[in-house]
Structure 1
Amino acid sequence: MLTPGEYLSFLDARLPGLVAGAHVYGSRVLDDVVPDSDLDIVIELSAAAEVPPLEGADVAVVLAGSLEKSVFEVTPLSGEVTPVLWQQLRTVGQTVRGARPSCPGTAAEVEAYCRDNLVSYWKVDFDRFRDVLPTLRPETVIPNAALLWVGLGPARLWHTIRTGEIVSKSRAGELAAARWPDLPVLDLVAVRRGADLPLTVAHAAASLELFDRILADVTT
């Protein structure tokens, strides 16, 4: 598993003197590291340059000083920046090079982003699946990675909309399972944490039902 130090050594060898700041977020700071977890990191460069890709690193690149501005004023050099990212960096993010950033923003901006993302991103995908679901056999095993993404991602947004807190995928699954115990959400959490449990189309159908309940819960 790639460490921040290894990644910075990789960058320094290819972009000597340009990496002014580095800030870790995601599973590494939310106590949710699993064997295939990427290193989620924001890199600040002192001048514009192309950051070479490295397997195991999920990177957003900005110019130095960008993290002291509103996210809406920042155009990243690569990757994506969002109000949710800014909140992570200013609350639980770990600075491994440079000064800790202020990442100014408001709870209202984070909530608005999460609400929009539920509809503009997740609802589009789930509506496509809704059309395909009747053609699939419930017992058919499907790839874990895809199902964990769609099954746990909306639950994170749901919790942030309700509370303002940003939690990991696993924690979001636990919270959604406590709210809707009739759905097999804990199966997804267990598989994310390494359990040898087959996930099937039935789990995908439950993820669709969970999404519908989440959408109803945050719009009523």
Structure 2
Amino acid sequence: MITPGEYLDLLDARLPGLVVGAHVYGSRVLDDVVAGSDLDIVIELSSAASLPSVDGADVAVVLAGSLEKPVSDVTPLAGEITPVLWQQLRTVGHTVRGARPTCPGTAADVEAYCRANLVDYWQRLFDKVRTMPELPPEDILWIGLGPARLWHTIRTGEIVSKSRAGELAAARWPDLPLPDLVAVRRGGDVPLTSSHLKAAVELFDRILADVTT
């Protein structure tokens, strides 16, 4: 599991003097690092350049100064940027190089993005998942916990980890076996079966109903 320092050392060796900002977000700042967790990081460059691909690093690249603008005004050099990312950076993100960014945005921006993502990405995905009798455990975790994060953010404005989102959804809908998903994400030895896949589908339907009523 690569550390921010190791990653920056690699970039500095390949692109000396170009990396002027580095900001960590995701599982490393949301207290949810598990086996296989990537390093989620935003890199600011003083001029456009291509970064080397590094296993275990999920990177968004922007020009210096971009993080002082609304996300809608920024075109990344690489990776994806969203209002949710901007909110993480301005609230819980950890700056390891450069100045802490302001990442201007509003709660309405974040909510609108989450609602659109539920429909444009997740609902289309679940339309396909409904026809599948089984999925690998890692895919069940992905579809079981991902929408729960959006659900919580839409309701409260808070951005939480996948594990925490699973806990919150389990408290809201205790009849579903969601604690099993959280346990497996955290390394527990719980077999995930077709019943968990069905529960993930049911959870998505309940989330969609909950945020559209």
TM-score normalized by the length of structure 1? 0.95
Cα deviations across residues 148-178 of structure 1 (Å, max 9, x unaligned)?
Answer: 1111000000000000000000000000000
SS of aligned partner of 2:159: coil
- The alignment status of 1:68 with 2:61, answered yes or no, reads no
The reply on whether 1:152 has 2:117 as its aligned counterpart is no
Equivalent-residue separation in structure 2 for 1:197 and 1:218 (angstroms) = 30
Whole-angstrom CA distance in 2 between matches of 1:194 and 1:26: 18
**How far does residue 145 in structure 1 lie from its aligned partner after superposition?**
1.6
2:77 alignment partner in structure 1: 77
| Residues 194-203 or 65-74, more deviating | 194-203
Q: CA deviation at 1:129?
A: 1.4
Distance across 1 between alignment mates of 2:10 and 2:143: 32
Partner residue, 1:207: 200
Matches within 5 A, 1:157-168: 157-168=150-161
Per-residue deviation, 1:146: 1.1
- SS of 2:201's partner is helix
Query: Could you list the runs of 5+ residues in structure 1 that have no partner in the other structure?
Result: none
Runs of 4+ aligned residues of structure 1 deviating over 3 Å after TM superposition are none
Match of 1:8 in 2: 8
Distance 1:10 1:154 in 2: 34
Matches of 1:41 and 1:4 in 2, distance apart? 8
* Matching residue's letter, 1:182: D
CA RMSD in angstroms comes to: 0.8
- Once the 2 structures are TM-superposed, how far is the Cα of residue 17 of structure 1 from its aligned partner? 0.5
Tell me how many residue pairs correspond in the alignment: 213
Q: d(CA) in 2 for partners of 1:35 and 1:210?
A: 25
Residue in 2 that maps onto 1:41: 41
- SS of equivalent to 2:104: coil
**1:145 & 1:39 partners in 2: Cα distance?**
18
Q: 2:104 is matched with which residue?
A: 104
Structure 2 distance, partners of 1:212, 1:129, is 12
Residues 1:178 and 2:171 are matched in the alignment: yes
Summarize deviations over 1:50-86 as a string: whole Å, max 9, x none: 0111000000000000000000000000000000000
Counterparts of 1:150 and 1:13, CA distance in 2 = 38
Aligned partner of residue 148 in structure 1, secondary structure: helix
Identity fraction in percent: 78
1:195 alignment partner in structure 2: 188
3-state secondary structure, aligned to 1:51: coil
- Structure 2's unaligned 5+ residue stretches are none
Amino acid at match of 1:216: A
Determine the C-alpha separation between the residues in 2 that align with 1:74 and 1:204: 38
TM-score (structure 2 length as normaliser): 0.98
SS in 2 for 1:48: coil
Residues 32-60 of structure 1, C-alpha deviation per residue, up to 9 Å, x if partnerless?
00021000000000000001110000000
Q: Distance in 2 between matches of 1:201 and 1:60?
A: 35
Residue 143 of structure 1 deviates from its aligned partner by: 2.1
Q: Helix, strand or coil for the counterpart of 1:207?
A: helix
The one-letter amino acid paired with 2:120 is S
SS of structure 2 residue aligned to 1:84: helix
Aligned residue for 2:146, secondary structure, equals helix
Q: Which residue of 2 aligns with 1:18?
A: 18
Match of 2:21, SS state, is strand
